[in-house]
Structures are given as C-alpha cells and as structure tokens.
Amino acid sequence: MAVGAAVRRMFGPYETQVGDLYRSFFVDLDAQLGTFRRWAPDATNILEIGCGEGAVCERLAVDFPAAAITGIDITPRVGRLFHGDPSRVRFEQIDAGALARREPAKFDLILICDVLHHVPWDQHRALLREAHALLSPGGVLVIKDWERILNVGHMACVFSDRVLTGDQVKFGTADYFRGLLADVFGSGAVVDETRVSPWPNNLMLFVRPTRSAPQ
C-alpha cells in the first residue's frame, strides 16, 4: 500500500474529512464542479475515468441530480469512499478500453480529472482514443490536470504524488495538453479552457470532438 493510503487509513472514520481538507490545499472542488455544470449543464449520462475512491462522483451526483453517473478506475479501491445515493451511481474496476468495447458511444459527458499525470505519456493517446469511443454523438469531454508551473503548489504536488502515492508522475504543460487533444479529437476540438483556484496549475480543458471516434 502507498504511504498516503496507509496514513489516510490511520484517520479511521475521519478519513474522508481529512482527505477533503488535504485536497482543498490543491484545488477548490466547488469551483471545479461549477465548471462542469457551466460546460455541460444538460449531461444525463456521465462517466469519470480514473475516479479513484469516488470524491468527484459523489459531488457529481449532487450537482447533476438527473444524471446517471459511472466511475471507473484501475484501482481495486474504486469508489471506496463514496457516500451518497447509490441508485444513480455505479463504480467498476475496469479500464476505459474494456468499457468502450462493452458500452461504446454511451456517455454524453466524460471527465478525466488528475489522471493523465499518473499515466505513462506513451499511453496518453490510447487512453484518450478510448474516451473518444465512449462518447455519444455530440458528447463532450473535460480534462482536468495539474500543469507544470513552478510554484510552491507544484512542489507540494510533486511531493504528494511521488512520496505519498508512490506513482511515477509526470506533469505536462498547457501546450502539451492542447496539442494532444487536437491530435486525438481533431483540430479546433478544444473549445474552452479555464484555471481553477487556488493554483494556476489547475488546468481544465473542454473538448467537443471535431472528428469521429476510431472504430
């Protein structure tokens, strides 16, 4: 188990609250959710790829009361800390490729939040192509990632990811993410972008594909 998971388990019943407090140093989750709502207010079938233990899905269930929500992750801990109405939210340990083969073109909003810096860079395109195959016609994708901008927040983020999660993380620049998304989803596919407080490193990109998904 990574150091971070072991430390967090020490907090027992307060694990969620401590995790939320810790996250709030890095990102304002209310602002992040507000951006999802602004960009895709009418989403009815939402998928979060790399949902971890379920914190974002929990907020999505509240902020999109009419939507069905699916959270997937490769970790066996997927959805472990979700507290909320389970009737509209499902979690599964499965990779995006396997889900795309089973449920292609199903989701009108797909979110990939703070996942790409955990994925080896030579696998970014494949993961995004799988996300494309999961998008319904007219569906949209939101990428939230941590941009490599040198500041105190970045030093804390590198420490947190490398030491606490033990992952070999690698952070991209906004130009890297823009180019990657244009490559996979077509030129002009990135239709909006914003930063989320409290750090300018919190980059969000809004993608509306301009080419069809690979078959």
Nearer to ligand SAM, 49 or 207 (CB): 49
Q: Which residue is nearest to ligand SAM (CB)?
A: 52
Residues contributing to the site for ligand SAM (CB under 6 A): 49-52, 55-56, 73-75, 95-96, 113-115, 118-119, 127
C-alpha dist (Å) from residue 154 to 9, 123, 160, 201: 25, 23, 10, 7
Nearer to ligand SAM, 88 or 118 (CB): 118
Nearer to ligand SAM, 80 or 210 (CB): 80
Q: What is the 3-state secondary structure (H, E, C) of 112-170?
A: EECCHHHCCHHHHHHHHHHHHHHEEEEEEEEEEEECCCCCHHHHHHHHHHHHHHCCCCC
What six digits make up the tokens of 129? 């192509």
Nearer to ligand SAM, 48 or 108 (CB): 48
Nearer to ligand SAM, 24 or 75 (CB): 75
Least spacing, CB of residue 183 vs ligand SAM, in Å:
18
Neighbours of 63 (CB within 10 A): 16
Q: Supply the DSSP symbol for 210.
A: S
CA–CA separation, 114 vs 116, rounded Å? 6
Nearest to 211, CA basis, from 179, 177, 184, 180 = 184
Least spacing, CB of residue 52 vs ligand SAM, in Å:
3
| Cα-to-chain-centroid distance, residue 65 | 19
Nearer to ligand SAM, 108 or 161 (CB): 161
C-alpha dist (Å) from residue 103 to 47, 100, 112, 157, 203: 11, 5, 17, 34, 29
Spatial strand order of the sheet with 190-195 comes to 89-93, 68-73, 45-49, 107-113, 135-146, 202-207, 190-195
Least spacing, CB of residue 67 vs ligand SAM, in Å:
17
Least spacing, CB of residue 48 vs ligand SAM, in Å:
6
Least spacing, CB of residue 127 vs ligand SAM, in Å:
6
Least spacing, CB of residue 188 vs ligand SAM, in Å:
27
